[in-house]
């Protein structure tokens, strides 16, 4: 195709507004339930209480940024345990691989916040302005009282939903009941108001106006997800071997030389992405399932079997076309690739849970002071200094006993403490300046360096942790 015989395409394209028609069906019903479930989880979680003792927050899920703690029911995560979060992110990644290779873009179609909130916003639009044709009419109409009233009402409701969304978000970061009162009495921190404002505006714009463009232009997910799919992935497709050649009903009757598709555009009109599923797999398709509901309804009405548009694997197309029975869904789903993802996903999950239960609620990090590497005292004793951080990850104050093993030459003392026992407050950490000394004549005194293991244990308890480090001698 040469470009000389064409007029050059325009550089910029205006968005074609999409007015999805209402549809009823099993996928639509499921999507409503999922929407209620997920929004419910989002709004309710910050209000769940969890008793942790008098000095600790009693919010079940709390990201306490100021004190650098993350609370999740009985679990408390400190910043140095961030590997739990990293593990969860890896699980999320592998979970995405698993679901995408098995069920295609199921995240996009059912669970993505962009999809869920857009769905809600479209429903609001439908309540206020009516279904597709009414909305189209209103859209094309010049501005008059009715249009201003309806659009104004719609935008107000959208804005309120956006505010509720942004408002709920901040409750995850502070005590929800307190912040709720503060937000309305003007006493909350400016950061809370700014966060609410930003999330209100993003929800309002993304759900109300940007909609499918977020998926098409802004989101990296579709590109990654498309790469995760193969011919066994269950996804939404159009049985073109059954539907083509398409044609309108003639006097209410189907032409026997035509396929089952009567070109009624039901699937196109309900699509929130504004595409035609009959063109096959497209980057824009979020596999929301609404075209299936729409087409099934039509097939029922004209007395044809359902499933002209349906969930299927791409390899089924050819199998069915040649007249054979398609592979069962489970055979598509259980294949080496998905089994590998499941094993990896579950393995990391089990490892995280095990790590969560066996982790100690005390922690120590040892930083040897190397400025200078060692200090010679007047009697020839060599001293090394260690900055030690003790963490008491427990809601009561506890006594930590410091000790050393692996090196009998060394003696320990702590700056500012008479002995080797220190008290650390509830859910707090302490910084110690610990001295190890090697008396003259001992091997550690003259060696370049010798190993030592520093222990921290709970007084009267069995829990203890250690850290291996080295002791620098005079190197003589």
**Interface with another protein, residue 189, by CB under 8 A:** no
Question: Between residue 266 and residue 295, which ones bind another protein under the rule CB under 8 A?
Answer: 276, 278-280
> Are 237 and 314 spatial neighbours (Cβ–Cβ below 8 Å)?
yes
Residues in the chain: 476
**Interface with another protein, residue 371, by CB under 8 A:** yes
* Lookup: tokens for 473: 């001698």
The residue within the footprint of another protein, chosen from 23, 262, 385, 424 (CB under 8 A), is 385
The residue within the footprint of another protein, chosen from 3, 185, 462, 476 (CB under 8 A), is 3
Shortest Å, Cβ 385 to another protein: 6
Q: Write the DSSP string, 228-272.
A: H--TTSEEEEE-HHHHPSP---BTTB--TTS-S-----HHHHH-T
The residue within the footprint of another protein, chosen from 217, 251, 336, 358 (CB under 8 A), is 217
Nearer to another protein, 123 or 321 (CB): 321
Nearer to another protein, 352 or 376 (CB): 376
**Interface with another protein, residue 446, by CB under 8 A:** no
How many CA atoms lie less than 13 Å away from 210 in the CB half-sphere?
17
Question: Between residue 316 and residue 355, which ones bind another protein under the rule CB under 8 A?
Answer: 317-318, 320-321, 323
Which range, of 67-75, 251-259, 333-341, 455-463, touches another protein by CB under 8 A? Answer: 251-259
Q: Which residue has the tokens 């005194």?
A: 445
CA distance 106 to 289: 10
- Rounded to the nearest 10 degrees, the angle between the axes of helix 221-228 and helix 83-103 is 60
Shortest Å, Cβ 263 to another protein: 12
CA distance 238 to 390: 62
Nearer to another protein, 106 or 277 (CB): 277
Nearer to another protein, 91 or 261 (CB): 261
The residue within the footprint of another protein, chosen from 119, 260, 409, 427 (CB under 8 A), is 260
**Interface with another protein, residue 10, by CB under 8 A:** yes
**Interface with another protein, residue 227, by CB under 8 A:** no
What DSSP state is assigned to residue 328? Answer: P
Question: Minimal CA–CA distance to 29: which of 288, 221, 390?
Answer: 288
Shortest Å, Cβ 381 to another protein: 8
Distances in Å between the alpha carbon of 28 and those of 31, 169, 236, 288, 294?
Answer: 5, 27, 15, 9, 10
What DSSP state is assigned to residue 322? Answer: T
Shortest Å, Cβ 10 to another protein: 5
> Are 129 and 154 spatial neighbours (Cβ–Cβ below 8 Å)?
yes
Per-residue binding letters, 408-427, with another protein (x by CB under 8 A): -------xx-----------
Shortest Å, Cβ 429 to another protein: 14
CA distance 109 to 116: 9
Shortest Å, Cβ 375 to another protein: 5
The residue within the footprint of another protein, chosen from 79, 305, 408, 461 (CB under 8 A), is 305
The residue within the footprint of another protein, chosen from 17, 40, 53, 380 (CB under 8 A), is 380
Q: Which residue has the tokens 């193969």?
A: 230
**Interface with another protein, residue 249, by CB under 8 A:** no
Q: Cβ contacts of residue 203 below 8 Å, gap of 6+?
A: 117, 161, 162, 165, 166
**Interface with another protein, residue 12, by CB under 8 A:** yes
CA distance 21 to 122: 10
> Are 171 and 184 spatial neighbours (Cβ–Cβ below 8 Å)?
no
CA distance 120 to 114: 10
**Interface with another protein, residue 38, by CB under 8 A:** no
Assign 284 to helix, strand or coil: coil
**Interface with another protein, residue 213, by CB under 8 A:** yes
| List of residues contacting another protein (CB under 8 A) | 1, 3, 6, 9-15, 213, 217, 239-242, 244-245, 254, 256-257, 260, 276, 278-280, 303-307, 317-318, 320-321, 323, 369, 371-372, 375-380, 383, 385, 415-416, 433, 435, 440
């Amino acid at each position: 195709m040469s470009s000389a015989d064409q007029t050059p395409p325009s550089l910029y394209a205006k968005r074609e507004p999409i007015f999805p028609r209402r549809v009823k069906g099993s996928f639509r019903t499921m999507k409503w339930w999922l929407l209620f479930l997920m929004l419910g989880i989002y709004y309710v979680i910050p209000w769940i209480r969890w008793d942790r003792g008098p000095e600790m927050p009693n919010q079940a899920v709390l990201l306490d940024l100021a004190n650098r703690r993350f609370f999740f029911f009985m679990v408390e995560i400190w910043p140095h345990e961030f590997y739990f979060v990293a593990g969860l992110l890896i699980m999320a990644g592998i979970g995405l691989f698993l679901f995408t290779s098995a069920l295609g873009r199921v995240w996009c179609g059912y669970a993505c916040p962009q999809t869920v909130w857009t769905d809600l916003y479209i429903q609001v639009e439908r309540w206020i302005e009516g279904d597709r044709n009414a909305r189209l009419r209103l859209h094309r109409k010049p501005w008059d009282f009715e249009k201003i009233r309806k659009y104004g009402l719609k935008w107000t409701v959208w804005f309120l939903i956006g505010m509720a969304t942004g408002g709920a978000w901040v409750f995850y970061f502070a005590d929800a009941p307190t912040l709720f009162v503060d937000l309305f009495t003007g006493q909350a921190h400016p950061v809370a108001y700014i966060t609410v404002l930003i999330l209100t505006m993003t929800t309002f714009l993304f759900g109300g106006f940007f909609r499918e463009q977020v998926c098409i232009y802004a989101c990296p997910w579709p590109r990654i997800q498309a790469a995760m799919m193969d011919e066994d992935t269950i996804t939404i497709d159009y049985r073109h071997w059954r539907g083509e050649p398409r044609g309108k009903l003639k006097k209410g009757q189907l032409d026997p030389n035509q396929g089952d598709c009567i070109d009624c555009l039901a699937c196109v009109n309900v699509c929130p992405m504004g595409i035609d599923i009959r063109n096959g797999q497209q980057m824009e398709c979020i596999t929301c399932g609404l075209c299936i509901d729409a087409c099934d309804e039509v097939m029922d009405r004209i007395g044809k079997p359902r499933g002209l548009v349906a969930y299927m694997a791409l390899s089924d197309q050819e199998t069915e076309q040649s007249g054979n029975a398609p592979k069962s869904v489970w055979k598509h789903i259980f294949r080496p690739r998905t089994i590998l993802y499941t094993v990896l996903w579950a393995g990391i999950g089990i490892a995280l849970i095990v790590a969560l239960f066996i982790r100690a609620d005390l922690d120590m990090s040892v930083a040897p002071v190397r400025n200078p590497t060692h200090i010679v005292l007047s009697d020839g004793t060599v001293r090394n200094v260690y900055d030690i951080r003790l963490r008491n990850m427990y809601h009561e104050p506890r006594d930590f006993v410091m000790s050393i093993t692996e090196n009998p030459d060394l003696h320990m003392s702590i700056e500012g403490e008479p002995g080797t026992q220190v008290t650390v407050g509830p859910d707090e950490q302490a910084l110690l300046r610990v001295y190890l000394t090697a008396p003259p004549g001992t091997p550690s005194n003259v060696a370049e360096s010798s190993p030592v293991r520093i222990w921290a244990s709970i007084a009267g308890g069995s829990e203890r942790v250690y850290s291996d480090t080295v002791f620098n001698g005079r190197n003589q």
